[in-house]
Amino acid sequence: MIVMKFGGSSLESGAAVRRVTAIVKSHLAAKPLVVVSALGNTTNRLLQIAEETEHGRRYSAWKGIKELWEYHAGVAEEVIEGSAYRCLEESLRHQFTALHRLVATLEDEGRELTPALYDEILSYGERLSSEIVNAALHGAGTPSVQVDARQLILTDNQHTHATPLYWETYAKLRRIIPRLAIDRTVVLGGFIGATESGATTTLGRGGSDLTASIVGAAFCAEEVQIWTDVDGILTSDPRVYDRGYKLKSISYPEAAAMAYGGAKVLHPDTVAPAMRQRIPITVRNSRRPEVAGTRVVANVEPSAHVVKSIACKSDLTVLEIRLHGDPEGNIETLRQLCGCHGVSPEFLAQNGDAVYLAIKGSDRYDRLQMDIEGCVEVRLRPERAILTLVGSDIPRTPNLKERVLGALKNTEAVVLWDHHNAPAMSIVVPQRDLRKSVEALHRELFSQPDPRVLAEVRRPVKEEAEVSLTSLVMSRPQAARGMPHRLGLAER
């Protein structure tokens, strides 16, 4: 058995969904279980709808739901036809009606939009996409069955970033999935789960990767495949610096360090379940399925490169805090302080006699009320980015810090490295210097690429341009554009 997870960029249009069905069909001999994210940027649109509802902007919320309906109905119309399409349309209509009623009820009754209700709204993305992909597989001649992930993934009650209850979830998966998968391909939405009381939860952004890893671990799968829109794990974030190389393989700890450093290709918690069972994770490009991708495994080829990749987090405010007392205790105190004030740390580490705390630039650092006993000094560094160099040999390379500072000699850079065994080194740089810094480091660290571990990335012209949700909606036939009014989503 293998697990195949497809991200939103692999499901952004009817053509993309058809491509996914073809990929799944080509792997039927391996008995795939399919995990899907929401279509395209649906999760972001659902977040906007939730925020519009919270601020009492009913028309904007209604308009967002209407556009999402037209988008999903249009994709469904492209991938399936006839009576099967009519059945799918009716099911999608039912889900959108329920979403609209939930949003309308919140406003009419003046209920607070709690984290639990946020999760309920966001869960519709994966619930809808799994239905569409299941129908597309049926239409392509592949027997399949859709399962609501909330019946399988059991979590705690930390809404919006729930932690799976692993052993209870494994038991549910092993009890339910085998009888469904005898002669069919199982399809489920990632990212979502439920508490023991049945309340809907979500696993945090990118949580579909974690779902796939959990499912793979439950059945000791041969492989967990993460299908996305890049050829694999790259030496740099292509949105920041697009001249990087593809890694042929990377170790579990290195992949985890990359994810925690901000690399979007994997959810930070994805690696652990697969690593415990030594299940390979392969990152592949759904637009170019012939490319081998990157394998995340226990043992990798020796490399001439100390650093394997450069991950980054942008638009941060960094606080340099000097404290008295035990360093580990200081970090735990700050973590608890952040939790009490609803601030989510993007980075928190001891460096010499200072603790560096990074939060999103949009968060209000003054809410932290830095009244920590023994605090000596707090220095604020706004508009910063944090680069994370990843490589298992980093702790054993004492001259690396000097090489890094030499490459960044024209940048106000602060290297954060505590010489522990973590396969990573972090650097704080001004946000304005982010691209320049990544380019300089890439030039220093990968000037002579080792062909045993790195491969050139071919950059073809995209076969289909990235299209906005609005343009997709506007291209649909008039019949599809009129559907929301029959859903009961008429303007109010």
Domain boundary among 228, 256, 281: 228
Local confidence band at 267 (pLDDT 50, 70, 90 cut-offs): confident
Q: Whole-angstrom Cα distance, residue 292 to residue 468?
A: 29
Instruction: Tell whether 151 is covered by a domain.
Output: yes
Instruction: Tell whether 268 is covered by a domain.
Output: no
Q: What is the pLDDT of residue 327?
A: 59
The per-residue pLDDT for range 311-327, each reduced to its tens digit, is 999 999 998 888 776 65
Note whether 198 and 342 are same-domain residues: no
* C-alpha pair distances (Å), 446 with each of 150, 390, 404, 423: 44, 13, 13, 17
Note whether 194 and 328 are same-domain residues: no
Identify the weakest region by mean pLDDT among 146-150, 174-178, 273-277, 464-468. Answer: 464-468
Residue written as token pair 């944090």: 386
Segments forming the whole domain that contains residue 11: 2-228
Note whether 9 and 100 are same-domain residues: yes
Instruction: Tell whether 125 is covered by a domain.
Output: yes
**What count of other Cβ atoms lies within 10 Å of the Cβ of residue 93?**
19
Q: Whole-angstrom Cα distance, residue 97 to residue 91?
A: 10
Q: Whole-angstrom Cα distance, residue 61 to residue 106?
A: 12
Q: Whole-angstrom Cα distance, residue 317 to residue 314?
A: 9
- Which residue, 479, 484, 473, is CA-closest to 100? 484
Average pLDDT over residues 276-300: 95
The per-residue pLDDT for range 243-259, each reduced to its tens digit, is 999 999 999 999 999 99
User: Which tokens in the block code for residue 479?
Assistant: 């019949």
Local confidence band at 368 (pLDDT 50, 70, 90 cut-offs): low
Instruction: Tell whether 233 is covered by a domain.
Output: no
Which CATH number belongs to the domain containing residue 173 in this structure?
Answer: 3.40.1160.10
Instruction: Tell whether 462 is covered by a domain.
Output: no
Domain count, the chain: 2
Burial label for 366, CB within 10 Å (0-12, 13-18, 19+), is exposed
Note whether 94 and 187 are same-domain residues: yes
Indicate if the pLDDT at residue 481 is higher than 60: no
Which CATH number belongs to the domain containing residue 435 in this structure?
Answer: 3.30.2130.10
In the chain, the amino acid numbered 190 is: G
- How many Å from the N-terminal Cα to the C-terminal Cα in the chain? 49
Average pLDDT over residues 422-448: 95
User: Which tokens in the block code for residue 15?
Assistant: 């053509």
Identify the weakest region by mean pLDDT among 75-89, 207-221, 351-365. Answer: 351-365
Highest mean pLDDT among 275-279, 358-362, 462-466: 275-279
Domain boundary among 196, 228, 260: 228
Note whether 59 and 173 are same-domain residues: yes
The per-residue pLDDT for range 19-67, each reduced to its tens digit, is 999 999 999 999 999 999 999 999 999 999 998 988 888 889 999 999 9
Indicate if the pLDDT at residue 374 is higher than 70: no
Q: Is the separation of the CB atoms in 336 and 369 below 8 Å?
A: no
Note whether 79 and 214 are same-domain residues: yes
Q: Whole-angstrom Cα distance, residue 77 to residue 79?
A: 6
Domain boundary among 228, 257, 278: 228
- Which residue, 478, 471, 411, is CA-closest to 438? 411
The per-residue pLDDT for range 456-478, each reduced to its tens digit, is 987 654 444 344 444 444 344 44
Note whether 217 and 314 are same-domain residues: no
Local confidence band at 366 (pLDDT 50, 70, 90 cut-offs): low
Average pLDDT over residues 255-278: 91
Average pLDDT over residues 411-425: 82
Average pLDDT of the residues of the chain: 88
- Which residue, 138, 133, 151, 128, is CA-closest to 201? 151
Average pLDDT over residues 320-343: 75
Q: Whole-angstrom Cα distance, residue 239 to residue 230?
A: 11
Note whether 183 and 315 are same-domain residues: no
Note whether 330 and 207 are same-domain residues: no
Note whether 67 and 185 are same-domain residues: yes
The per-residue pLDDT for range 57-113, each reduced to its tens digit, is 888 999 999 999 999 999 999 999 889 999 999 999 999 999 999 998 887 666 678
In the chain, the amino acid numbered 263 is: A
Average pLDDT over residues 446-465: 77
Q: What is the pLDDT of residue 373?
A: 54
Please give the biggest Cα pair distance in the chain: 71
111 or 187, higher pLDDT: 187
Q: What is the pLDDT of residue 464?
A: 42
CA 453 vs. chain centroid, Å, equals: 25
Note whether 195 and 334 are same-domain residues: no
Strand 414-416 versus strand 424-430 pairing type: antiparallel
Please enumerate in sequence order all residues whose Cβ is within 8 A of that of 167, keeping only pairs 6 or more positions apart, or say none. Answer: none
Q: What is the pLDDT of residue 54?
A: 83
Instruction: Tell whether 265 is covered by a domain.
Output: no
Q: Is the separation of the CB atoms in 205 and 126 below 8 Å?
A: no
Per-residue HEC secondary structure of the chain comes to CEEEEECHHHHCCHHHHHHHHHHHHHCHHHCEEEEECCCCCHHHHHHHHHHHHHCCCHHHHHHHHHHHHHHHHHHHHHHCCHHHHHHHHHHHHHHHHHHHHHHHHHHHCCCCCCHHHHHHHHCHHHHHHHHHHHHHHHHCCCCEEEECHHHCCEECCCCCCCCECHHHHHHHHHHHHHHHCCCCEEEEECCEEECCCCCEEECCCCHHHHHHHHHHHHCCCCEEEEEECCCCCECECCCCCCCCCEECEEEHHHHHHHHHCCCCCCCCCCHHHHHHHCCCEEEEECCCCCCCCEEEECCCCCCCCCCCEEEEEEEEEEEEEEECCCHHHHHHHHHHHHHHCCCCCCEEEEECCEEEEEEECCCCHHHHCCCCCCEEEEEEEEEEEEEEEECCCHHHCCCHHHHHHHHCCCCCCEEECCCCCCCEEEEEEEHHHHHHHHHHHHHHHCCCCCCCCEECCCCCCCCCCCCCHHHHHHCCCHHHHCHHHHCCCCCC
- Which residue, 374, 348, 357, 368, is CA-closest to 320? 357
Note whether 158 and 9 are same-domain residues: yes
Average pLDDT over residues 111-123: 90
Q: Whole-angstrom Cα distance, residue 438 to residue 131?
A: 41
* Percent of the chain clearing pLDDT 70 (strictly above): 87
Q: What is the pLDDT of residue 460?
A: 55
Burial readout 233-269 (b: 16 or more C-beta within 10 A, e: otherwise): bbbbbbebbeebbbbbbbbbbbbbbbbbbbbbbbbbb
Indicate if the pLDDT at residue 435 is higher than 70: yes
Instruction: Tell whether 237 is covered by a domain.
Output: no
Instruction: Tell whether 251 is covered by a domain.
Output: no
Identify the weakest region by mean pLDDT among 107-121, 235-249, 288-302. Answer: 107-121
